[in-house]
Amino acid sequence: MLKITNFSKSYKRGIKAVDNLNLEVKSGDIYGFIGHNGAGKTTTIKSVAGVLEFEEGEITIDNISIKRDPVACKQRMAYIPDNPDLYEHLSGIAYLNFIADIYQVDKTERRKLIEEYASAFELTQNLGDAIGSYSHGMKQKLAIISALIHKPKLLILDEPFVGLDPKAAHTLKTLMAKICNEGSAIFFSTHVLEVAEKLCNKIAIIKGGKLVAHGATSEVIGNSSLENVFLELIEDKQ
Amino acid sequence: MKKTFRLVSVTLWAVLNDMLVIGKLGRKRKAMYAGVVLFTLLMSVLSFFYNFMMGSGLKMFDSLDILPAIIVSAASFVILMTTIFKIKGTVFGFKDYELLMSLPVSTTAVVASRLIILYCFNFLFTIILILPMTIAYGILARPGFGFYIMSLVLMFAVPLIPLITASVLGTVIAYILSKFRRNNLLNIIFSISLMLIIIALTFAFRGDEQELVNMSKAITQQVYGLYPLARLYTNAVINSDVLAFFLFLCISVSAFILYALIVKRLFKKINTLLMTGQTRANFKLGKIKTGSPLKALYSKEIKRYISSSVYVLNTGIGIVLLTISTIAGFFVDLEGIMGGELMFSLAKDNAVLYLIIFIMVSCTSMASISIEGKNFWILKTLPVTPMAIFISKIALNLTICLPALLDAVLIGILLKLDFLRIILMFFIAAASALFISQYGLIINLMLPNFSWTAEVAVIKQSAASVVTIFSSFIFFAVFFIFKFVIPTGAGAYLGYLLFMLIVDMILYCILKSYGVKRFYSL
């Protein structure tokens, strides 16, 4: 579903934020992307989502290059940034309709999915209010609903649990498992290692722009815990 | 005190950065700072010449002494008008309110810093108007040393009373509007109505024709009637009346201190009232309307535009004025107002310029990329082409300019133009609207600013908006070349229309190539 090949991204003065990264997310995968602050997670995620341009390497979604046909790639995926700044002047429902119109979700399907997800995240009653009046958690919930209503094949999430209340976090985890069972794939970054360990079937650890470990969660952590493995890897490389 | 000035300096730098940030082009920033200084100097020089010409005219009617009062009244009036709608966002309801109030800084310091910031902006404006006036009056009247001293001292006090009046009015308006669900729309309607009333009043004063002998007295009475403090100002600086000097200072400063004390008392209360969002939390999913992606983008643009009164007032007022003045033209004796057949004939020849100038200042696209701000990631991740996004932004601008097409026909009928010229005016209006929509968008793609903290910074104070407005006048001036080459008949109109159509096509090609690449790189 998502294939990252020899991907590098440099910023000003040639400083490499990500260095020759190779990774593959298959249908049904919940792929956790773990690393320090500034390790290169968000740069990678933004490049996959088509927010950042890159020169070296290739990123394909459903075998389509994000460089060559970004619109087709974006049609197949949904992205939620770490801090979802949404259109504050729109009401929640207007924003969902805007996204649904862009992805051409038909009326019946749209109604069904909005009802289902808004109810799951307990946001139905607030959908008529302006997004500007929402709390951070409510915005996060709305961003998640907007990402799910067009049934993406690939879901890219940057720190999706930040700001969510425990119940909403649980709902999100359940939904993540559900949509992956239905054949979609999820690639997400997180600092909550316990969640990654329990939820992900695959994990990648990035440090200083390079992958230091990746593969099936059971293989990466072995008999230890993800926290221990992560700390060991980070210490080792230092 | 130290903390207050630290807060002031941080905010002023933030505002300057908002105004001058032009993407990643670090080197150009210095050039832009220089540009701002040059612009201020240029405005001061223009202000001087305007004052000098006006003073010379008044001197002919032995009324030079009214010049300071006129300029002080004008400055106070502009401060009043521009500050009313700035209060919400500067003193009350500003973005970093929560952050500031959580810092170990007293409310007094926060209030003082906000008032100083408001004063600083208005003081800069006062300098540009009053300092050149003082010099112009000095050259023309050769007053004593006392005039300069008193003028300079009073210059610091001039912005205070209009600032307080605007602040009180602005707060009351913001508070009343916050009670309504569609308060932005009400704000826009209210603001446009207020501006129109003021313009109408100005015309009403101008329409009152006096004999030249009585003109001096009439002007003086009108100015004093409009702004009573101007009388004190005149007495102080012209007649060296020390009592008037101290009275002006005392009234201004004591009113400001009183105002500051009241604001300090009500600061938290008003901010809480203004910043409490309106929530109903009673939504039930009703009928769902669907549309195409392009329609969704266009609708989003319209909603974004209407949500910002600053955006509407700064980019839509031109078309409103054009339409109202055109309609008003049918109810007045146009030839009489213009002062005879010769001027009427001149107006007929250059009517298209009147039309174009209002279209050129009605540019929404010059801020349409920057206004996305922190929401830009949404556009970048949507499965639509950059051209679809550009078209939605251009469509918004064309929608705003739509009344100008009707105005073109009405102006043609009003000025009794021949059929061919009316048709050409219609198409020139359309071509000019398309031009400014595309041109503004390209400039904004070149000079974006996504890190603004106040909308006004990208709408009217940004590099993109300044460059768009000022450089677009070059295209406006091209009409004079056609007029020079083909002085009679509809030739100049036709030539200009063809020119604008070619420019429109070139701009479209630039958007399709450079624009798309630039969008992906942002």
pLDDT tens-place string over residues B312-321: 888 998 899 8
B21 within 8 A of B449, measured Cβ to Cβ: yes
Domain-located, residue B285? no
Residues whose CB falls within 8 Å of the CB of residue A151, separated by 6 or more in sequence, listed in order: A113, A179, A184
Asked which of B147-156, B202-211, B282-291, B479-488 is least confident by mean pLDDT, the reply is: B202-211
CA atoms within 13 A on the CB side of A185: 17
- What is the residue whose two structure tokens read 């209503």? A149
Q: Tell me whether A62 touches chain B (CB under 8 Å).
A: no
* Statement: residue B179 has pLDDT above 80: no
Q: What residues contact B355, with CB distance under 8 A and at least 6 apart?
A: B322, B404, B407, B408, B411, B425, B428, B429, B432
Q: How far apart (Å, rounded) are the C-alpha atoms in residues B75 and B130?
A: 8
Residues of A in contact with B284 (CB under 8 A): 124
How close, in Å, is residue A100 to chain B by CA atoms?
8
Q: Across residues B190-201, what is the average pLDDT? A: 69
Residue of B nearest to A123 (CA): B281
* B260 and B385, same domain (yes or no): no
Question: A206, A39 in Cβ contact below 8 A?
Answer: yes
- Based on the domain organization, do B266 and B299 belong to the same domain? no
Q: Is residue B195 part of a domain?
A: no
Distance from CA of B182 to the nearest CA of A (A): 11
CA distance linking residue B142 with residue B136, whole number of Å:
10
| Same domain membership, residue B55 and residue B151 | yes
Is the torsion defined by CA of B266, B268, B274, B276 positive or negative?
negative
Instruction: Check B282 against A128: CB less than 8 A apart.
Output: yes
CA pseudo-torsion sign B90, B95, B101, B105: negative
pLDDT digits (tens, 9 = 90+) for B248-267: 889 988 988 888 888 888 88
Question: How far apart, in whole angstroms, are the C-alpha atoms of residue B112 and residue B119?
Answer: 10
Give B191 to chain A, closest Cα distance, Å. 20
Reply yes or no on whether the pLDDT at A205 is more than 50.
Answer: yes
Cβ neighbours of B293 in A, within 8 Å: 101-102, 104
Mean pLDDT, rounded, for A13-27: 88
pLDDT of B433 > 50? The answer is yes
Shared domain for B343 and B232, answered yes or no, is: no
Own/partner contacts of A109-116, CB < 8 Å, gap of 24 or more, are: A110/A149, A110/B288, A110/B290, A111/B285, A111/B288, A113/A148, A113/A149, A113/A151, A114/A145, A114/A149, A114/B285, A115/B285
Identify which of B288, B380, B520 has the shortest CB distance to residue A97: B288
Identify the band that residue B423 occupies on the pLDDT scale cut at 50, 70 and 90. very high
Contacts of residue B23 in chain A, CB cutoff 8 Å?
A: none
Residue B92 confidence (pLDDT): 80
Q: Which of B285, B295, B384 sits opposite A71 (nearest CB)?
A: B384
Among the three residues B275, B301, B327, which one is the final residue of a domain in this structure? B275
Q: Given CB atoms, is A65 within the 8 Å cutoff of chain B?
A: no
Q: What is the mean pLDDT of residues B273-297?
A: 81
All residues at 6 or more sequence positions from B25 whose CB lies less than 8 Å from its CB, including other chains = B447
For residues B498 and B146, which has the higher predicted lDDT (pLDDT)? B498
Q: Which whole number is the average pLDDT over B434-443?
A: 96
Q: Residues of B466-491 as b/e, b for ≥16 C-beta within 10 angstroms?
A: bbbbeebeebbeebeebbeeeeeebe
Q: Contact, B252 vs B228, CB < 8 A? A: no
pLDDT, one tens digit per residue, over A91-107 is: 999 999 999 999 999 99
Query: Which DSSP state fits A130?
Result: B
Task: Provide the pLDDT for residue B204.
Answer: 56
Sheet of A30-35, strand order: A77-80, A154-158, A185-189, A30-35, A202-207, A210-216
What is the band of A182 on the pLDDT scale with cuts at 50, 70, 90?
A: very high
Q: Single out the residue in B275, B307, B325 at which a domain terminates.
A: B275
CB contact under 8 A, B283 and A104: no
User: How much of chain A, in percent, has pLDDT values that exceed 70?
Assistant: 99
Give a yes or no: residue B316 inside a domain.
yes
Does the residue B199 lie in any domain?
no
Instruction: Return the residue of A nearest to B296 by Cα.
Output: A98
- Judge if B374 and B513 occupy the same domain: yes
DSSP string for A173-234? HHHHHHHHHTT-EEEEE-S-HHHHHHH-SEEEEEETTEEEEEEEHHHHHTTS-HHHHHHHHH
User: Confidence band (pLDDT; 50, 70, 90) for B23?
Assistant: very low
In the predicted structure, residue A81 carries a pLDDT above the cut 50: yes
B341/B476 same-domain check: yes
B315 lies in the same domain as B234: no
- Secondary structure (3-state) at B247: helix
Given a cut of 80, whether residue B343 has pLDDT beyond it is: no
Identify the weakest region by mean pLDDT among A202-206, B218-222, B460-464: B218-222
Domain that holds residue B436: 293-521
Give the tens place of pLDDT for each residue, B223-244.
677 677 888 888 888 888 889 8
Q: Cα dist. B99→A95, B103, B255 in Å?
A: 28, 7, 29
SS3 per residue for B331-353? CCCHHHHHCCHHHHHHHHHHHHH
Distance CA A83, CA B311 (A): 26
pLDDT of residue B208: 44
The pLDDT of residue B237: 85
What confidence tier does B207 reach under pLDDT thresholds 50, 70, 90? very low
Cα angle for residues B354, B355, B358 (degrees, 5° grid): 90
Cβ distance A128 to B283 less than 8 Å, yes or no, reads: yes
Whether B283 maps to a domain, the answer reads: no
Q: How far apart are CA B438 and CA B433, in angstroms?
A: 9
Q: Are residues B318 and B264 in the same domain?
A: no
**According to the model, what pLDDT value does residue A187 have?**
95
The per-residue pLDDT for B302 is 95
B326 belongs to a structural domain: yes
| A122 and B CB contact within 8 Å | no
For tokens 């060559």, name the residue.
A68
The whole-angstrom separation of Cα B370 and Cα B368 is 6
A235 CA to chain B: closest CA distance, Å?
34
Neighbours of B509 (CB within 10 A): 11
Query: Percentage of chain B with pLDDT > 70?
Result: 88
| pLDDT band, very low/low/confident/very high, at B168 (cuts 50, 70, 90) | confident
Among B242, B275, B308, the domain-final residue is B275
CB-based contacts of A26: which residues, under 8 Å, 6+ apart?
A1, A185
How much is the pLDDT for A195? 87
Q: How confident is the model at residue B488 (pLDDT cuts 50, 70, 90)?
A: confident
Q: Quick one: which of B12, B7, B35, B15 has its CA closest to B466?
A: B35
Confidence of residue B222 (pLDDT cuts 50, 70, 90): low
Residues B215 and B299 in one domain: no
Q: Which of B374, B381, B383 lies closest to A51 in CB terms?
A: B381
The C-alpha atoms of residue B493 and residue B501 are separated, in whole angstroms, by 12
Identify the weakest region by mean pLDDT among B11-25, B76-90, B103-117.
B11-25
Residues B253 and B302 in one domain: no
Instruction: Tell me how close the Cα of B9 comes to any Cα of chain A, in angstroms.
Output: 28
Q: Residue B40: inside a domain, yes or no?
A: yes
What burial letters (b/e) apply to B292-310, b meaning 16+ CB within 10 Å? ebbebbbbbbeebbbbbbb
What does the DSSP 8-state code read for residue B373? G
Judged against a pLDDT cut of 90, whether residue B405 lies above it is answered with: yes
* Mean pLDDT on B154-162: 89
Let me know if residue B192 belongs to a domain.
Answer: no
Contact B88, B174 (CB under 8 A): yes
On whether both B114 and B37 belong to a single domain, the answer is yes
| pLDDT at res. B27 | 59
A-chain residue closest to B294, CA distance: A102
When mean pLDDT is compared across A133-147, B70-84, B375-389, B503-517, the lowest value belongs to B70-84
What domain count does chain B have? 2
* Chain mean pLDDT for chain B: 83
Is residue B245 domain-shared with residue B331, that is, in the same domain? no
In chain A, the largest separation of any two C-alpha atoms, in whole Å, equals 54
| Shortest alpha-carbon distance between residue B517 and chain A (Å) | 10
pLDDT of residue B214: 57
The pLDDT assigned to A93 comes to: 95
Residue B89 pLDDT greater than 60, yes or no = yes
